[in-house]
C-alpha cells in the first residue's frame, strides 16, 4: 500500500510539474477549479506546447505510461491533432535488465539453464523494450535463433500502474464535460487488455505463426519460424532473421535494394493482409521491419514483433468495401449511409449533413496531382469529422488507420514520390470486384455449401415435428403454420434454384470442354 501511495505521489508531482492539469482545464465542469489551480501553482513554467509537455511527462513516468501514450496516439477520434502528433513521437527508452534475471526466467519457464538448452547463448541482449528483451542463441542442431524473454515482475508493475489509471479515469469522468464522448474508463480498459495480451508471449508466437502461414507462398514478406519446443508464456524462441533495418536508407541503397519497388511492395503487403486475410501486423513501425539482402530472399521485407495484430471480420470487410467503392465513385451519400446503417453513427444523424462533411474531407484529393495525395491525412480528417458526429470508431479500424499511417510514412521515406492512392487503387478495385461480382458469389456459395448440405435434408423433418407439436392448438397457431409452410416453400424454391444453377453451370463447363476438344482435334 505504501508503494502505491508513493507511486501516486510521483504521478501527481510529475503532472503538476508539466502542467497536465492545464490540458484538462478547458473541459472542466467547474470553472472555479481552474482559477484555484492557476493560483496555487503560479510558479510553473508552462511556455512549452501542451503536447510536448504531455509527452515529456509520460516519458518521465516510465514504460507503462509511455505505452499508454503510444496507444492513445492512435485514437485520433478522441484526442486533438496537436496532442496526437506529440504522442506519436513517444519511444520506449528502456535499459536492458540484468542477464542473470533473463537466465533465471528462461530456467523457470523452460526447465533448464540456457547452457543446457542451447549450444551457445549470448548474455548481452541485442534489443530491449518495456515488456521484453532479446538475446541471440544457437540451437544444438546449429540453427541460429532469437530468444525473447519477458521482463521480470512486469505483471505486478502493470497491475499497479493500470489500477492508478483506472482511478484517474474515474476522476476524469466526473470532472470533464467531454468525458461522455472521450470514454476515459473504456480507453483505460482497452489499454489494460492490450498490455495483458502483450504479457503472454505465446499469443505473440501464435500471431507470428499465423502471419507466416498466410505468406508462405509470398515473395514479398518473411516471418520468423517459431520453435514451439522452446516457447512458453514468458519466453519464446524464434528463427534468427538477418537483414538491414528499413530505416537505414543509405545501407539499403549501398546493398543495391530497389527502394521504389520496396515502397510499393510494402503497400501490397499491407492491403493483402487486410483484404485477403483480415489479419494484419498492426505495429509496423521501422524498428520492427528489416529488409533481407541474402541472395535467395533479396529485397524481401522481414517482419518482427507480433505482439499487436489487427483482425477484420466479414462485416468489417463489407463495411470497408462499401466505403471504398462509394469513395472511388465519389458517392459521399453512400459513405454517410454506410456509417449510419452500420450503427457507428447515431441513427438520428442527418445523412445530408454527414455527406457534406465527408465530401469536404475527400473531394479535395480529386483536384490535386495523385502524388500529392495522402491517404493518412484523409483518414485523420475523417476521424476528426467523426468526433463532430459522435461516430463510434471501432478499435480494429483504429488499428487499421494506425498501420496505414505507418505504411504511408515508411513508403514515402523509401520513395518520396510514392503515390499510395495509385498503388492501392488497382488492388482494391480487383478485390472489390471479386467480393461483389460473380466470383465472390461463387466463393461464398462454395464456402457455405457444407452447411447448407447438412441443413437442407433436415428441413422437412424439422417442419413436420414443429407442426406435430402444435397440432393440439390449431386455432391458436394457424398463423404460425402458414409461416412454416411459406418458409418450407421458399426453402424448396431456393434448393431447386441452387440445383438448377449448379446443373446449368456443370453442363456449360462440360459443353465448353467438348467444344474446345472438338476444335483441338479439328
- Residue 264 assigned ligand-binding role: no
Using CA atoms, how far apart are residues 165 and 470, in angstroms rounded to an integer? 57
- Residue 128 assigned ligand-binding role: yes
Write down the pLDDT at residue 47.
75
Write down the pLDDT at residue 241.
96
**Closest C-alpha to 288, from 239, 246, 320:** 246
Using CA atoms, how far apart are residues 102 and 113, in angstroms rounded to an integer? 11
Query: What are the structural domains of the chain?
Result: 1-92 (no CATH), 93-240 (3.30.200.20), 244-436 (no CATH)
- Residue 130 assigned ligand-binding role: yes
Write down the pLDDT at residue 369.
55
User: CB count, 10 Å around CB of 180?
Assistant: 10
Active site amino acids: 283
**Closest C-alpha to 351, from 339, 367, 369:** 339
- Write out the three cell numbers for 382: 475523417
- Provide the 3-class DSSP secondary structure of residue 79: coil
**Closest C-alpha to 138, from 119, 122, 153:** 119
3-state secondary structure 296-323: HHCCCEEECCCCCEEECCHHHHHHHHHH
Write down the pLDDT at residue 24.
57
Pairing mode of beta strands 301-303, 221-222? parallel
**Strand locations in 326-424 (E):** none
The residue behind cell 493483402 is 272
Note the pTM of the prediction, 2 decimals: 0.70
- Write out the three cell numbers for 263: 515502397
- Residue 162 assigned ligand-binding role: no
Write down the pLDDT at residue 109.
94
**Closest C-alpha to 240, from 138, 304, 144:** 144
Write down the pLDDT at residue 374.
66
pLDDT in tens, the chain (522 residues): 666 677 778 877 787 778 776 665 555 545 555 556 555 665 667 778 888 888 888 888 877 788 778 777 766 556 677 787 788 777 666 788 999 999 999 999 999 999 999 999 999 999 888 789 999 999 999 999 999 999 888 888 888 888 888 887 777 666 655 555 556 777 777 778 777 878 899 999 999 999 999 999 899 999 999 999 999 999 999 999 999 999 899 999 999 999 999 988 988 898 889 888 889 998 777 778 999 999 999 999 999 999 888 888 877 777 776 776 677 678 888 888 877 877 767 888 888 988 898 888 778 766 665 567 666 666 666 666 766 777 665 666 667 777 777 777 777 778 877 776 677 777 777 777 776 666 666 666 676 667 666 676 776 777 777 767 766 555 555 666 666 666 666 666 666 655 555 555 555 555 555 555 555 545
The residue behind cell 513521437 is 89
Answer whether 282's CB lies under 8 Å from 237's CB: no
Using CA atoms, how far apart are residues 444 and 438, in angstroms rounded to an integer? 10
- Write out the three cell numbers for 479: 398463423
Amino acid at each position: 500500500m505504501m508503494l502505491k501511495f508513493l507511486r501516486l505521489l510521483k504521478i501527481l508531482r510529475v503532472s503538476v510539474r508539466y502542467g497536465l492539469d492545464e490540458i484538462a482545464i478547458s473541459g472542466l465542469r467547474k470553472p472555479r477549479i481552474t482559477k484555484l489551480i492557476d493560483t496555487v501553482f503560479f510558479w510553473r513554467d508552462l511556455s512549452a506546447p501542451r503536447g510536448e509537455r504531455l509527452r515529456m511527462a509520460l516519458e518521465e513516468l516510465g514504460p507503462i505510461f509511455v505505452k499508454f501514450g503510444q496507444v492513445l496516439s492512435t485514437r485520433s477520434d478522441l484526442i486533438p491533432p496537436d496532442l496526437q502528433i506529440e504522442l506519436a513521437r513517444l519511444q520506449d527508452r528502456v535499459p536492458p535488465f540484468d542477464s542473470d534475471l533473463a537466465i533465471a526466467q528462461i530456467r523457470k519457464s523452460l526447465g533448464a539453464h540456457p547452457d543446457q538448452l542451447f549450444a551457445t547463448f549470448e548474455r548481452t541482449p541485442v534489443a530491449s523494450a518495456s515488456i521484453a528483451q532479446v538475446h541471440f542463441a544457437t540451437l544444438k542442431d546449429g540453427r541460429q535463433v532469437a530468444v525473447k524473454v519477458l521482463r521480470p515482475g512486469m505483471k505486478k508493475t502493470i497491475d499497479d500502474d493500470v489500477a492508478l489509471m483506472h482511478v484517474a479515469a474515474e476522476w476524469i469522468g466526473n470532472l470533464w464535460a467531454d468525458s461522455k464522448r472521450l470514454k476515459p474508463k473504456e480507453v483505460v480498459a482497452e489499454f489494460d487488455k492490450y498490455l495483458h495480451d502483450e504479457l503472454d508471449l505465446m499469443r505473440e508466437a501464435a500471431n507470428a505463426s499465423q502471419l507466416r502461414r498466410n505468406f508462405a507462398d509470398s515473395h514479398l514478406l518473411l516471418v520468423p519460424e517459431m520453435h514451439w519446443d522452446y516457447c512458453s508464456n514468458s519466453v519464446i524462441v524464434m528463427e534468427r532473421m538477418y537483414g538491414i533495418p528499413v530505416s537505414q536508407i543509405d545501407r539499403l541503397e549501398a546493398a543495391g535494394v530497389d527502394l521504389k519497388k520496396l515502397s510499393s511492395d510494402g503497400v501490397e503487403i499491407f492491403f493483402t493482409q487486410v483484404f485477403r486475410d483480415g489479419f494484419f501486423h498492426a505495429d509496423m513501425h521501422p524498428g520492427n521491419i528489416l529488409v533481407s539482402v541474402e541472395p535467395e530472399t533479396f529485397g524481401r521485407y522481414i517482419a518482427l514483433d507480433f505482439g499487436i495484430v489487427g483482425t477484420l471480420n466479414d462485416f468489417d470487410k463489407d463495411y470497408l468495401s462499401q466505403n471504398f467503392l462509394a469513395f472511388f465513385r465519389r458517392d459521399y451519400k453512400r459513405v454517410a449511409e454506410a456509417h449510419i446503417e452500420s450503427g457507428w453513427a447515431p441513427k438520428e444523424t442527418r445523412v445530408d449533413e454527414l455527406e457534406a462533411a465527408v465530401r469536404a474531407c475527400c473531394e479535395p484529393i480529386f483536384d490535386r496531382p495523385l502524388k500529392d495525395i495522402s491517404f493518412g491525412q484523409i483518414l485523420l480528417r475523417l476521424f476528426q469529422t467523426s468526433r463532430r458526429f459522435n461516430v463510434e470508431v471501432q478499435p480494429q479500424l483504429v488499428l487499421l488507420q494506425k498501420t496505414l499511417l505507418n505504411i504511408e510514412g515508411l513508403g514515402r521515406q523509401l520513395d518520396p514520390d510514392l503515390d499510395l492512392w495509385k498503388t492501392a487503387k488497382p488492388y482494391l478495385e480487383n478485390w472489390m470486384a471479386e467480393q461483389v461480382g460473380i466470383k465472390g458469389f461463387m466463393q461464398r456459395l462454395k464456402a457455405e455449401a457444407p452447411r447448407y448440405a447438412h441443413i437442407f435434408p433436415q428441413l422437412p423433418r424439422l417442419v413436420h415435428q414443429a407442426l406435430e407439436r402444435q397440432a393440439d392448438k390449431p386455432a391458436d397457431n394457424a398463423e404460425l403454420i402458414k409461416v412454416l409452410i411459406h418458409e418450407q416453400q421458399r426453402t424448396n424454391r431456393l434448393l431447386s434454384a441452387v440445383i438448377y444453377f449448379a446443373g446449368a453451370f456443370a453442363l456449360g463447363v462440360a459443353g465448353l470442354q467438348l467444344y474446345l476438344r472438338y476444335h483441338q482435334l479439328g
